[in-house]
Amino acid sequence: MGKGTGKEECKGKCRSTRFYLNSYDREDARKVIHMMKDKALLKRLGTPDEVANAYLFLASDEASFITGTVLSVDGGVVL
């Protein structure tokens, strides 16, 4: 695992999207969540445990040969 402060910036072609509920009012948040669910192949949002499992995998010995990739944990939103 890398040692970082979380302030590093990807210098290459890297795109990561985030959605913060507290940055929208409730009605806008509902619209965005509905759109995200509709866009996903699994038609639902992921759970914190599902996202944590991806981190656990990447931190495990089973992922020791994985380098320089983006693992999308998004239910099929990005294909």
pLDDT of residue 74: 85
pLDDT the model gives residue 14: 59
76 domain-assigned: no
Q: What are the backbone angles phi and psi of residue 52, rounded to the nearest 5°?
A: -60, -35
Q: What is the pLDDT of residue 56?
A: 93
Could you tell me if residue 79 is inside a domain? no
Residue labelled with tokens 């990005």: 78
pLDDT score for 12? 60
pLDDT the model gives residue 29: 80
Written as one string, the DSSP assignment of 34-78 is HHHHHHSTTSSPPPHHHHHHHHHHHHSGGGTT--S-----SSSS-
Range of the domain at 28: 21-61
27 is a domain residue? yes
* Low-confidence residues in the chain, pLDDT < 70: 1-24, 79
> How many distinct structural domains can be found in the chain?
1
Enter the pTM of the model.
0.58
- Residue 32 located in a structural domain: yes
Single out the residue of 46, 44, 40 nearest to residue 78, CA to CA.
Answer: 40
For residue 9, tell me if it sits in a domain: no
In a domain, 36, yes or no: yes
Whether 32 contacts 24, CB under 8 Å: yes
